[in-house]
Every structure is written in structure tokens, then in C-alpha cells.
Amino acid sequence: MINKIVQSAAESVADVFDGATVMISGFGEAGSPVELIHALVDQGAKDLTIVSNNAGSGHVGLAALIENRQVKKIICSFPRTAISVVFPELYRKGEIELELVPQGTLAERIRAAGAGIPAFYTPTSVNTPLEDGKEERVFNGQKYVLEEAIQADFALVKSYAADKYGNLIYNKTARNFGPVMCMAAKTTIVQVKKVVLVGEINPEHVVTPGIFVNRVVEIVNPADESKLVAENSKYHGIKY
Amino acid sequence: MESNTKTIGWGVPEMAQKVAMDIHDGAYVNLGIGIPEMVADFIPEAREVIYHTENGLLGMGKVAESGFEDPELVNAGKKYVTTIPGATYFHHADSFAMIRGGHIDICVLGAYQVSEEGDLANWSTGNPDDIPAVGGAMDLVAGVKTIYVITKHNTKTGASKVVENCTYPLTGKNVVSRIYTNLAILDVKDKQLRVRELAPGVSFDYLQQNTDAKLNLP
């Protein structure tokens, strides 16, 4: 019997271990799995390497995880936003590591891991400071750099609906990094607005096939992160 | 360099209009954050242009009206937007396959500096106190067929943003084909700058005086 539905966010992240690499979906607030991240704040795993497009806004979601000092390093494309306060402060103090990756390279490094491709060549970042230390090769007269896949121990992803097999559909631009992150982690944990019956999602419409998903948690009324940020909410976790 | 370039030449909407006139019917276009976004307002109605936003949407419509914002429908600048009929959503790796794979026709970007050989610097000033952030800029210049830059010709302190060699960290080398400023439109051709159009009241000599790179006639 396959049933990937778990009963709570807390249960779904219980085995995240110290030092784990964790992917977190979202482009800014859109698609960010706030409830799963807050469950990870409660759970308390430390020295995490986080892979996400941004570095959190305000004091909730990813920013709360960073503020709770659980993150050793972040791999992202755009850690600077007008409402990003936690990451910049720790970064300037040298208390968090940053690996800056062009956005398309980040997406492809994640996709590659999920597809069993250890590395690939891309023209992105050639002749810029971000090519430093990367192997270079010329194809058809054009320079490319070698980029390695990013594999994760866990992925925390938000999608719209799932069935018990873990087949997923998303909502609008909240899809962003979700599908590739689902593929790239050993354990993929997805929060959905609704769990539907098997067969309810038209097979032609499934975006992430359930084979890439391990756990599904239903969060019927997920917090709107942009609203939490606008209200200057803070999340310190239930154990702290 | 001394200059009073703010008071003469084109205003920003006129610059955006100049860019819009060079976007052909049927083009797939990615507009950078800020001034480039304004270009969409000036596309002639007879032209059908499809907008791509790298966070996973082709067929982006106008900015969402107040009261109709959807936090899960945003553009690359994280602004609430809308879709046109026929729009499509996709994940980030597909979105950047469109970019890197050469499927997007035109990208319009802002600049800190742009060189006479078409090098672009628009992601970092190199200031160690700044938080480095690159987003999709390097992928866009590496993959989109035609890169247009829209920028003020000079900084607030009068320094030329059009230069012989960029001193800021590069986004890409030999990537820009045309530069639209408040003073002129410049083509990058054979690693030289050629003046395509001068703004009203701007002479070639005046433009050259306010530009830290050699200008050539078309």
C-alpha cells in the first residue's frame, strides 16, 4: 500500500538531521512552504545548508530559520531584497556562508541532480567573477563553464494539490523551483492546500509525478508569507 | 566629468518608447526589473508581443489592479501581475531553458555600465559591504538572442555609464547590441559604438563629451 500522506508538518520533518542539505521551494514568498519551514524551526536541526532562490524576508519562513541560527550556509541567486533583514546582518558579521549562483544555473544544477547528471556545461557566468574556480571548455568556438549538480537530503516544497501517490499540481507562479527540487532530494516533503483522491488529477495535468515525492502534508489554510512579512510577524518556534 | 545631461534629451518614458518601437511583432520578450518594465506600455497595438518572466510565466499581462493581487502570481521583480489568455506556467529549469536555449528574442535590461564592445555590468558595484545578488541577469545575457540596454547616459554625479571598459564586475562580455539612453541610441557593431539616433538638442560633440568611449557615426 502506498500512502505518502503524513498527519502533521512536525511529523514530516522529524528526521531532518544536523548538517543536512535542505532545498526550499519559492521565489520570494510565492511558493515558499512556510508551515514546513516553521516545523523545521520547531524541530531545531542545526548546521543546515539551504538551497533556495532567496534568503528569506522579514522574520518568518526561511528568515526565521536563519534567525534561529540553524543555517550554516545558503546557496541562492538573490539574497538581497528590500525586506530581507536577517540574512544581510549575519552575512556582514561573517556568521553565515553564501554561495551565489546565477538563477538559471541554480535551477539546472538542481534539475541535473534529479536527473542523474553529475555536471553540465553552461555559457552563463563566462567572463564574469562568478566563473572563478570553474573548469572551462570551448564548444563550437564558444566558452562554457562546468557546473556541478546540487543534491539534497531533503526538499521542502509547496504545491496546490496532491493525491496519496504524491502526484502534484501547482498554483500559478508558485510552481517555480518546486518540480526540480522534488526530483533532487533523497526525501521530498510537500505541503499542499488539499489532498485529493487518486484519479482526481487528470494524468495529463500532473506536473510532478509522485515518484519524486515521499511525504505529503495537507495545510488547508497556509499562511500568506507576504502578509506575515508586511505585518512584521516573527516566528521563534514552539520550543524556544 | 561635468554634465547637465538631466535637463536635455529624452525623458524615461520617451526612452522606453524608443525601445518599444524596436520590438517586432511576434517577439518573445523578457523585460528586466525597473525602467525596462515600462517598455511594455509603449508597444504599438498592432504588434503582438509575448512577455516572459523568468519565475515561470509566458504570457504575462499588466500589473494587477489594487484588490486583485494574487500572492502566487508575481513577476521576476516580485510584483503582482496578471496573465493574458493563452498564458502558460512552467518550472524554473524550463523557464531558463527558454532563456539559455535561445528561445527568447529580446531582453531589455538596465545597466551600471556598458562598454563599447557590448560588455554589461548590471549586478554588482563590487562594493564589499553590499550583499551580492545576481538573479537571472547572467543567464539572460548569455542566452537571449538580442540584448537591449536602457539607462540614463550618466550617473547622478555625471560619470558616463557608457565606457571603454567596465570597471564594475561583468554580467556578460560582448552581449549588448543596442543602448538607449536619454541622450542617444547607440549600436554596438564590430566592437565599436555607432550613433544610431541623437536625442533632440543633443549634438554629436556634446554626446562625445559626455561619453567615456569613442563614438562613431553609423
Closest by CA to A159, choosing from A16, A4, A43, A44, is A4
Mean pLDDT of B132-157: 97
CATH of the domain at A171: 3.40.1080.10
Residue A89: CB atoms within 10 Å: 13
Q: State the pLDDT confidence band at A237, using cuts at 50, 70 and 90.
A: confident
Q: Please report whether residue A212 resides in a domain.
A: yes
At residue A17, the pLDDT reads 98
B6 pLDDT more than 70: no
Side chain identity at B141, as an amino acid letter?
V
Mean pLDDT of B177-197: 97
Residue A111: which of B93, B133, B137 has the nearest Cβ? B93
At residue B73, the pLDDT reads 97
Q: Where are the alpha helices (DSSP H) in chain B?
A: 12-21, 92-100, 137-143, 204-209
- Three-state DSSP at A157 gives strand
Which residues, 6+ apart, have CB-to-CB distance to B137 below 8 Å? A102, B32, B109, B122, B123, B171
Number of structural domains in chain A: 1
Q: Please report whether residue A130 resides in a domain.
A: no
pTM: 0.96
At residue A239, the pLDDT reads 54
At residue A226, the pLDDT reads 87
Mean pLDDT of B201-209: 97
- The residue of chain B nearest to residue A110, with distances taken between CA atoms, is B93
Q: How many CB pairs under 8 A join A and B?
A: 146
A5 burial level (CB within 10 Å; 0-12, 13-18, 19+): middle
B179 pLDDT more than 70: yes
- Residues from chain B that touch A92, judged by Cβ atoms under 8 A, are 129, 131
To the nearest whole Å, the CA of B176 is away from the closest chain A CA by 14
Instruction: Give B44-92 pLDDT, tens digit per residue.
Output: 999 999 999 999 999 999 999 999 999 999 999 999 999 999 999 999 9
Q: Please report whether residue A51 resides in a domain.
A: yes
Residue A128: which of B129, B135, B138 has the nearest Cβ? B138
Q: State the pLDDT confidence band at A221, using cuts at 50, 70 and 90.
A: very high
At residue A83, the pLDDT reads 85
At residue B1, the pLDDT reads 44
At residue A3, the pLDDT reads 98
Q: Please report whether residue A74 resides in a domain.
A: yes
Residue with cell 563629451: B209
A102 pLDDT more than 70: yes
Q: Is A145 on the interface with B (CB under 8 A)?
A: no
Residue A29: which of B71, B95, B142 has the nearest Cβ? B71
At residue A240, the pLDDT reads 44
Instruction: Give A27-61 pLDDT, tens digit per residue.
Output: 999 999 999 999 999 999 999 999 999 999 999 99
To the nearest whole Å, the CA of A100 is away from the closest chain B CA by 7
Q: Are A87 and B142 inside 8 Å of each other by CB?
A: no
ipTM associated with this complex: 0.96
Q: Please report whether residue A97 resides in a domain.
A: yes
Q: Please report whether residue A72 resides in a domain.
A: yes
Q: Please report whether residue A12 resides in a domain.
A: yes
Alpha-carbon gap, residue A112 to A100, rounded angstroms: 18
Q: Please report whether residue A71 resides in a domain.
A: yes
- The residue of chain B nearest to residue A171, with distances taken between CA atoms, is B72
B7 pLDDT more than 80: no
Closest by CA to B155, choosing from B40, B2, B42, is B2
Q: Which of B2, B14, B54, B116 is catalytic?
A: B54
B168 pLDDT more than 80: yes
To the nearest whole Å, the CA of B170 is away from the closest chain A CA by 5
Closest by CA to B147, choosing from B193, B111, B183, is B111
User: What is the torsion angle, in degrees rounded to the nearest 10, for the CA atoms of residue A202, residue B99, residue B17 and residue B34?
Assistant: 90
Ordered structural domains, chain B, with CATH: 12-216 (3.40.1080.10)
Instruction: Give A153-194 pLDDT, tens digit per residue.
Output: 999 999 999 999 999 999 999 999 999 999 999 999 999 999
Q: Are B132 and A110 inside 8 Å of each other by CB?
A: no
Instruction: Give A105-119 pLDDT, tens digit per residue.
Output: 999 999 999 999 999
Which residue range(s) make up the domain with A70? 5-116+150-230
At residue B153, the pLDDT reads 98
Q: Quick check: B125 and B152 in contact, CB under 8 A?
A: no
Q: Quick check: A170 and A162 in contact, CB under 8 A?
A: no
At residue A81, the pLDDT reads 77
Which residues 50-79 in chain B show a CB within 8 A of chain A? 53-57, 70-75, 78
Task: Give catalytic status of residue B37 as yes or no.
Answer: no
To the nearest whole Å, the CA of A227 is away from the closest chain B CA by 9
B38 pLDDT more than 70: yes
Q: Concatenate the DSSP letters of all residues of B151-167 into one string.
A: --SB-TT--BSEESS--
